[in-house]
Amino acid sequence: MKAVMFNKETYIQRRAELKKLVKDGIILLFGNNESPVNSPANGYSPFRQDSSFLYYFGQQRDGLVGVIDVNDNKEILIGNDIDIEDIVWFGSVDAVSDLAAQVGVSNSAPMSELKTICDKAKASNRKIHFLPPYRSDIKIQICDLLGIHPNKQKEEASLELINAVVKMRSVKTAEEIEELERAAVIGYKMHTTAMRITKPGLTEKYVAGQVEGIANSYGSMVSFPIIFSQHGEIMHGNPSMAELEDGRLVLCDCGGETMIHYCSDNTRTFPVNGKFTQRQLDIYKVVEECHDAALKYAKPGTKYADVHFAICHILFDRMKELGLAKGDTDAAVAAGAHAMFLPHGLGHMMGMDVHDMESFDQINVGFDEETRPNLEQFGTNCLRMGRRLEEGFVVTDEPGIYFIPALIDEWRAKKHCAEFLNFDKLDEYKDFGGIRLEDDILITKDGCRFIGKDRIPYHPKDVEEFIAANRK
């Protein structure tokens, strides 16, 4: 069966553009290998290919490396053909030469040839470009090939290649946007399933398992481990065996990947029993307002850091109205007082990785020479995306309000931002949890729009009506 991928011309064009951007040397793009769970023959399933290898070489088989010789304008797909033992257990697969031809590569070679290619390049003092590795087996392979210790490989990775890949992968083409729309369909099915089946007495783990099954059924896999928890104040709260309780909120942050690994990433927070209390609504409506405001502010030429801080101003103003905060909003946000409620950034790049290209470091992806991160201020140091937006960017819009007991206690003890926060009132919300809303935004020519034709319910009335109509 032919692998699912874009037309081969897409990969030919991408590699041609990459050569123009890098200009000189040899580029090595490492695909992933199978990763053992608890024995060499028992690998994690499903296999997930490296995203940048997929972007330029399209093939999802393990044990492949793409080589691009910029100066000689030559491309080689490196990998070993499978043997009869593999065929017996897994069936026949295409030869490496056939895999190469499917993505417009004329040359292929066994893995042993990669060492020869690297040795020749080193002997000629040619630049060998590789991306920062994130898996131990690839680090060992690079060490064997290039003699660079694994602890030094991140700093030795090619900044020219990183910048070129970021430039290309950041701007989504029409066919990529279509694929992201397909991912959004999976995300819609996942979230509406969670809303339909949630009820008091079920465990968080049970609902999360059902939702993960949707991702596996309609696509390749979840785009990240599912967050489903009544403790919404924990940013990445894994589902537990805790029973869902009447009167509490549950936060569901999840997404799926298409068969060629384009992602969705959405968050919804809804009442376990299907009906918001007034106290829950008071906080929820603030997050809703911030979420919708991003659509007004996000457009080409605008720094996403500015969108983030505009949202922080709205949030802090509303917290003052609820008696949880006080003082001058501009001064409070400058001091980082908003991070009591929102200790993360508004969003991140999205694409083939749910935090797109995160392995390259966010300073190379979400920032540029004009816009630099503030790593000194709590909360602001977690801003993943700050650079100017461009048409074709896809970013997440995910404001939240969290009441984190340990953070409240720590700031009170240190009197941190005491002139901007009402700690006595905050104490009353230690049992609240947290609320987050998240959607994926495409930057268009004149503004932006949500990815996904069908909107996962998030306006309070829509949430309650959907749950009432769809729960048994």
pTM of the model: 0.95
Q: What is the DSSP letter of 262?
A: -
Give the pLDDT confidence score for residue 1 in this predicted structure. Answer: 39
- Give the DSSP letter of residue 203: B
Q: Is the alpha carbon torsion for 278, 282, 283, 284 positive or negative?
A: positive
Q: Is the pLDDT of residue 2 over 80?
A: no
Task: Supply the pLDDT for residue 274.
Answer: 98
Domain 174-470 has CATH 3.90.230.10: yes
pLDDT at 118 over 60: yes
pLDDT of residue 3: 59
Which pLDDT does position 92 carry in this prediction?
84
Mean pLDDT calculated for residue range 406-428: 98
pLDDT digits (tens, 9 = 90+) for 283-340: 999 999 999 999 999 999 999 999 999 999 999 999 999 999 999 999 999 999 999 9
Enter the tokens of residue 50.
């490296």
User: What is the rounded CA–CA span in Å between residue 345 and residue 384?
Assistant: 6
CA atoms of 59 and 100, how far apart (whole Å): 8
Collapsed DSSP state (helix, strand, coil) of residue 232: coil
DSSP output for 265-298? -EEEEEETTS---HHHHHHHHHHHHHHHHHHHH-
What's the CATH fold of domain 8-170?
Creatine Amidinohydrolase; Chain A, domain 1 (3.40.350)
d(CA 350, CA 357) in angstroms, rounded, equals 9
Instruction: Find residue 434's DSSP bridge partners.
Output: 402
Report pLDDT for 472: 79
Tell whether the model's pLDDT for residue 16 goes beyond 60: yes
Domain range summary for the chain, segments of one domain joined by +: 8-170, 174-470
The mean pLDDT value of the chain amounts to: 96
Q: Given this model, what pLDDT does residue 87 score?
A: 84
Q: Tell me the mean pLDDT in the region 409-413.
A: 98
| Cβ-Cβ contacts under 8 Å for 119 (sequence gap 6 or more) | none
Place of tokens 């994690």: 44
pLDDT of 49: 97
User: Rounded distance, CA 38 to CA 42, Å?
Assistant: 6
Average pLDDT over residues 244-263: 98
Cβ atoms 203, 242 nearer than 8 A: yes
% helix, strand, coil for the chain, step of 5:
45, 15, 40
Token pair listed for 159? 């900044």
Encode pLDDT of 131-154 as tens digits: 999 999 999 999 999 999 999 999
- What is the predicted pLDDT for the residue at 86? 82
Residue 461 has pLDDT above 80, yes or no: yes
Q: Dump pLDDT digits (tens) for 345-365.
A: 999 999 999 999 999 998 999
Q: Are 417 and 335 in contact (CB under 8 A)?
A: yes
- Write down how long the chain is: 472
